[in-house]
Amino acid sequence: MIIEHPAAVRGKIPFYRHLYVQVLAAIAAGILVGHFYPELGTQLKPLGDAFIKLVKMIIAPVIFLTVATGIAGMSDLAKVGRVAGKAMIYFLTFSSLALVVGLIVANVVQPGVGMHIDPASLDSKAISTYAEKAHEQSIAGFLMNIIPTTLTSAFADGDILQVLFISVLFGISLAMVGKKAEPIVDFLQALTLPIFRLVAILMKAAPIGALGAMAFTIGKYGLASIANLAMLIGTFYLTSFLFVFVVLGAVARYNGFSIMALIRYIKEELLLVLGTSSSEAALPGLMNKMEKAGCKRSVVGLVIPTGYSFNLDGTNIYMTLAALFIAQATDTPLSYGNQILLLLVAMLSSKGAAGITGAGFITLAATLSVVPSVPVAGMALILGIDRFMSECRAMTNIVGNAVATVVVAKWEGELHQAQLRAALAGEAPIETKATSAQPAE
């Protein structure tokens, strides 16, 4: 369902009324408040937390309505399996590639070399909570957790994968019932309108949330606190930049679209992630925009929510880069065999710890706990700057999932090429009908 903008009918929207401009201004204001009034900045944390809670409140119904109605409109249910299978192949390929890129860059740049940190001198208590959560995670436990306790508990808990699981099953059941289920499908499609209008209302609070979250981050940690670890931060940002524009850029070009145009198209979602440090805050808007860009609703509904747990390119780059940084900083020698083991463990742990609070840091703890040659206590070195890297992780993840959606839609023949070109060129009409069966070109 595409959100129409009523101002579009009246004429060009003033620049200051664009959400991305407001969020950008709020981020700048948050940095200033946090830097010059750090105590006030830390007290503004509830603003960011409240906005993220507002968005999380609406994620479950957005996923359910998008997926259930999308699958119910499929004449061929085998397509559901094909879309899911193709998405998982894409996720596995590029998530693994992101891990390899992080490993290569860490070996070339060596951001931790020369620090000579004694692991025994580090305060392991600071990362004990993350380590405990990491030990609680397992692949079997992760897979079992996809199945909710009851039909309604997934919505009550807001677990993305559980909601997706129920949505897929319910959509399949609607499609199998056929004509008798049409009144229910019509009701769900009608319900989509006010739900997405609610999303638009909630997004108006995005600048306030971004201001509060950014003011807290700068007020608590300060700009000066990251100077001594700037090499790691700079390396991570540069690596993510290269992955997006070189690797994902090549994928986009091969599939007939520009990565720069796609990034411009989802700039509001990226700035929202930058301001709040939460990729979940951008999920409803990203799903809406990818549908508007010509990707069929059933593909969008399957790929993006699943990608939030299985296609974490930014998180994977961070994992191998941070692990080798800790080894280098603590003068821990790692053979190529150990590095390959680290890579293999990270491939599994990045799936087993997905979708949990502080997933990037917890996943790193889970990986290091299995590779004993790298001291887990070394994570204390990056705990203070993790917040400054979480925004880049989340933005890279968002771009990766947007690219994945277009690619999988094209593979499946469910991409409206003309609509994609128009949307990325900024020419698509703001008011569009709900996508159901868009012809593939």
CATH code assigned at 224: 1.10.3860.10
pLDDT of residue 432: 43
Residue 438 lies in a domain: no
pLDDT of residue 2: 46
Query: What are the Cα distances from residue 256, in Å, to 250, 354, 371, 417?
Result: 10, 31, 41, 9
Residue 26 lies in a domain: yes
Classify residue 231 by its DSSP letter: H
Q: Which domain holds residue 101?
A: 13-424
Please check whether residue 73 is in contact with residue 66, taking contact to mean a CB–CB distance below 8 angstroms. Answer: no
- Cβ-proximal residues to 183 (8 Å cutoff; 6+ apart), any chain: none
pLDDT of residue 358: 52
| Cross-strand partners of 433 | none
The alpha-helical segments, DSSP class H, found in 258-335 are 259-265, 267-276, 283-292, 297-310, 313-329
Rounded Cα–Cα distance for residues 146 and 185 (Å): 25
pLDDT of residue 420: 92
Q: What angle do CA 189, 402, 305 make, to 5 degrees?
A: 55
Classify residue 358 by its DSSP letter: T
Please identify which residue in the block is written with the tokens 């989340």: 394
pLDDT of residue 383: 67
* Residuewise pLDDT in 10s, the chain (441 residues): 444 444 444 446 677 777 778 888 888 888 888 888 888 988 888 888 888 788 778 888 888 888 788 777 766 667 777 888 888 899 889 988 999 999 999 999 888 787 777 766 655 555 555 555 555 555 566 667 778 888 888 888 777 778 878 888 888 888 888 788 888 988 988 898 888 888 888 888 888 888 888 888 788 767 665 555 678 888 999 999 999 999 999 999 999 999 999 999 999 889 888 877 777 778 888 988 999 999 988 888 888 888 887 788 888 898 889 888 888 888 888 888 888 888 887 776 665 444 444 556 667 776 776 666 777 777 777 766 777 788 888 899 999 999 999 999 999 888 999 999 999 988 755 444 434 334 333
CB atoms within 10 A of CB 40: 12
Residue 214 lies in a domain: yes
Residue 439 lies in a domain: no
The alpha-helical segments, DSSP class H, found in 311-379 are 313-329, 336-352, 359-370
Q: Which class for 199: exposed (0-12), middle (13-18), buried (19 or more C-beta within 10 A)?
A: buried
Residue 4 lies in a domain: no
In total, how many domains does the chain have? Answer: 1
Please check whether residue 377 is in contact with residue 369, taking contact to mean a CB–CB distance below 8 angstroms. Answer: no
Residue 206 lies in a domain: yes
- Cβ-proximal residues to 389 (8 Å cutoff; 6+ apart), any chain: 233, 236, 237, 318, 360, 382
Residue 8 lies in a domain: no
Locate 87 and state its tokens: 């998405």
Residue 215 lies in a domain: yes
Question: Which has the closest alpha carbon to 269: 401, 430, 395?
Answer: 395
Q: Which class for 415: exposed (0-12), middle (13-18), buried (19 or more C-beta within 10 A)?
A: buried
